[in-house]
Every structure is written in C-alpha cells, then in structure tokens.
Amino acid sequence: MSLFNRLKVDANEAWTAYTGHPFVAAMGDGSLPQASFRHYLVQDYLFLIQFARAYALGVTKANTLADMRACSAAMSAILDVEMNLHVDLCGEWGISPEELEAAPEARATMAYTRFVLEAGHRGDLLDLMCALSPCVIGYAEIGKALARTSGPDNPYRAWIDEYAGDAYQQVAQDARDFLDKLADETLTGKRYPRLLELFRQATRLEADFWEMGLHLSD
C-alpha cells in the first residue's frame, strides 16, 4: 500500500468529512450559492500563494537535485497554472489579480497555511509533503468524483474540469509517487504516528476551509 493510501485509511473519518463535505456536494449538484464559491475562490487564491511558499521551502529541505526539481515543478504548477483558473473565474466577476492578492486572509486560510509551513520548518521534506498531500491529492480525487456526477451546465464545471483533467491528475500522481519515494528513504515505524497526525490535522483544516466558504465566515 502506498504511504498516501495508508494515511488516508488510517485517517478515514477526517478524510471522509473533507472529501464528502456539504460544500463539495453543493458544488457537485450546482446548488452552492455563487457568493459562497466566490468567497472560497478568493481565499483559495491566497491559500495557493502560501502553498507555493511551502514548495519553495521544500527546495531548501531537499537533499538531492531531483527532489529540488520536484518541489520546484510543483511550485511552478501552482504559480503558473492553478492560480490562473482563479484569476480567470474571478475576472468574470470583475475582480482583478491585484484585488485578489490584496484581499485579507480569513482565519481558516491562515490556520491551514501556517500549519503546513510550520510543519515544514520543524520537520523534513517528508513531514512537509505529508502535510501538503491532503490538498494536492485530495482535490484530484474530489474533481474526478464530481466530474462523474455533474452535468455540463453545472455553474462550477470549470473548477471541476480543472481538477478532474489529465494535467492536474498527473500533478496528484506525481505527488503520490514523490511521497512514496521519500517514505522509502526515511520512513520508520516509530515515525509513522507523527506523519499520520500531520496528515489528519491537515485534512481537518481542509474541511474547515470548506466550512468557511459554506458559511462565509472569517
């Protein structure tokens, strides 16, 4: 079993609450209010800025050029591809990239991103990748699941197609493979409980992020 699947099974309750959250279900059937999606999308843009920094931290934590390149490629995928979706969608509402970047961070955004960055600063590259994986791989699973059940007229189809598409699915597969590579090198039985706790907490913070969007809380 891959490390990611092992973590997901052992944190099943938190994982199910995240991937099956009412916000996700409402996106899937198109019933999510546009105001909720807009609030989420602005915060997710700010979230991705911090996640790009997390991958930059990964470059400094890497022990090999190959690992440095893997982290650099993931950072580029965020900065040069994924964030463009947010810019395009928000542009339809008259929100400029400058306004997106200047938006205040919600508490759920700060809590999650700072948790991940702290995990990376305190630990090594495997710690950091475990904390990042619920987002990176979880969005691929969510997008693929929603693509199977959502119709072409779904108002959130562009978001769904982005994360269900081949390009992002490959990003997620690369993240799985990288996690397994790092685990083969440094994972021990004694260390696993710590990694599981990082994964579980990051997954709970993902659910909190959905909750923020659903209730437009700060």
Among 82, 141, 162, 206, the active-site one is 206
**DSSP class per residue in 168-201:** HHHHHHHHHHHHHHHHHHH--TTTHHHHHHHHHH
For residues 57 and 121, the answer to whether their CB atoms sit within 8 Å is yes
Look up 90 and say whether it is catalytic.
no
Angle value at C-alpha 209, between 85 and 49, nearest 5 degrees = 45
Tokens 């209730």 found at = 215
At which residue do the structure tokens 């990239």 appear? 97
Which entry of 82, 135, 141, 162 is annotated as an active-site residue?
A: 135
d(C-alpha 27, C-alpha 30), whole Å? 5
Q: How many CA atoms lie within 13 A of 169 on its CB side?
A: 11
d(Cα 176, Cα 181) in Å, to the nearest integer?
Answer: 9
135 annotated active-site: yes
Tokens at residue 88, please?
């395009």
Catalytic residues: 135, 206
